[in-house]
Amino acid sequence: MTAGGIPPPPGARAVLDALQAAGHEAVFVGGCVRDRLLGRQAADWDVATDALPEAVMALFAKAIPTGLQHGTVTVVERGEPVEVTTYRVERGYADGRRPDEVIYTRALADDLGRRDFTMNAMAWDPVTDRLVDPFGGRADLEAGRVRAVGDAVERFTEDGLRPLRAVRFAAVLGFELHPPTEAAIGATRATFRRVSAERVRVEFVKTLLSARPGWGLEVLHTTGLLADFLPEVDALGPRRVAGLAAALGGTPARLAVRLAVTLWGVEDAEAPLRRLTFSNAERRAVVHLHGFRGLAPGAPRTDVEVWRLVAAVGAEALEDLLAVGEAVGDPAAWRALGRRIDALGARGGPLSTRALPVDGRDAMAVLGLPPSRRLGRLLQALLERVWADPTLADRGALLALMPEVDATLGDEEAP
- Interface residue list for ligand ATP (CB under 6 A): 30-31, 43, 115-116, 120, 159, 161-162
Where does this chain touch Mg ion (CB under 5 A) — which range of 30-38, 49-57, 286-294, 334-342? Answer: 30-38
| Nearest-angstrom CA–CA distance, 400 and 174 | 62
Q: How far is the CB of 41 from Mg ion (least distance, A)?
A: 12
The residue among 31 and 300 lying less far from ligand ATP, judged by its C-beta, is 31
Q: Which x/- pattern over 42-81 shows residues binding Mg ion (rule: CB under 5 A)?
A: -xx-------------------------------------
**405, 343, 412, 350: which is closest to 378 by C-alpha?**
405
Q: How far is the CB of 175 from ligand ATP (least distance, A)?
A: 13
Q: How far is the CB of 130 from ligand ATP (least distance, A)?
A: 18
Where does this chain touch Mg ion (CB under 5 A) — which range of 27-35, 129-137, 175-183, 299-307? Answer: 27-35
| Nearest-angstrom CA–CA distance, 223 and 166 | 11
Q: How far is the CB of 323 from ligand ATP (least distance, A)?
A: 25
For Mg ion, the binding residues in 338-397 under the rule CB under 5 A are none
The residue among 107 and 336 lying less far from ligand ATP, judged by its C-beta, is 107
Strands (E), 135-208: 145-146, 176-177
The residue among 77 and 159 lying less far from ligand ATP, judged by its C-beta, is 159
Question: 148 with 119: CB under 8 angstroms?
Answer: no
Query: What is the separation, in whole angstroms, between the first and last Cα of the chain?
Result: 77
Q: How far is the CB of 217 from ligand ATP (least distance, A)?
A: 19
The residue among 44 and 384 lying less far from Mg ion, judged by its C-beta, is 44
Where does this chain touch Mg ion (CB under 5 A) — which range of 25-33, 85-93, 97-105, 203-211? Answer: 25-33
Sequence-separated (6 or more) residues with CB below 8 Å from residue 30: 46, 48, 115, 120, 121, 122
Per CB under 5 A, does 8 bind Mg ion? no
Give the number of other Cβ atoms within 10 Å of residue 396's Cβ.
10
**327, 205, 199: which is closest to 259 by C-alpha?**
205
The residue among 164 and 256 lying less far from Mg ion, judged by its C-beta, is 164
The residue among 116 and 320 lying less far from Mg ion, judged by its C-beta, is 116
β-bridge mates for residue 29, sequence order = 46, 123
Per CB under 5 A, does 31 bind Mg ion? yes
- Give one DSSP letter per residue of 334-359, joined into a string: HHHHHHHHHHHTTTTS--SGGGSS--
Q: How far is the CB of 267 from ligand ATP (least distance, A)?
A: 33
The residue among 88 and 162 lying less far from ligand ATP, judged by its C-beta, is 162
3-class state of residue 113 by DSSP: helix
| Nearest-angstrom CA–CA distance, 248 and 172 | 14
Q: How far is the CB of 349 from ligand ATP (least distance, A)?
A: 41
Q: Which does 406 bind (CB under 5 to 8 A by kind): ligand ATP, Mg ion, none?
A: none
| Nearest-angstrom CA–CA distance, 335 and 325 | 9
Q: How far is the CB of 28 from Mg ion (least distance, A)?
A: 11
| Nearest-angstrom CA–CA distance, 290 and 293 | 6
| Nearest-angstrom CA–CA distance, 201 and 188 | 19
The residue among 30 and 350 lying less far from ligand ATP, judged by its C-beta, is 30
Question: 265 with 236: CB under 8 angstroms?
Answer: yes
**Contact residues for Mg ion (CB under 5 A)?**
31, 43-44
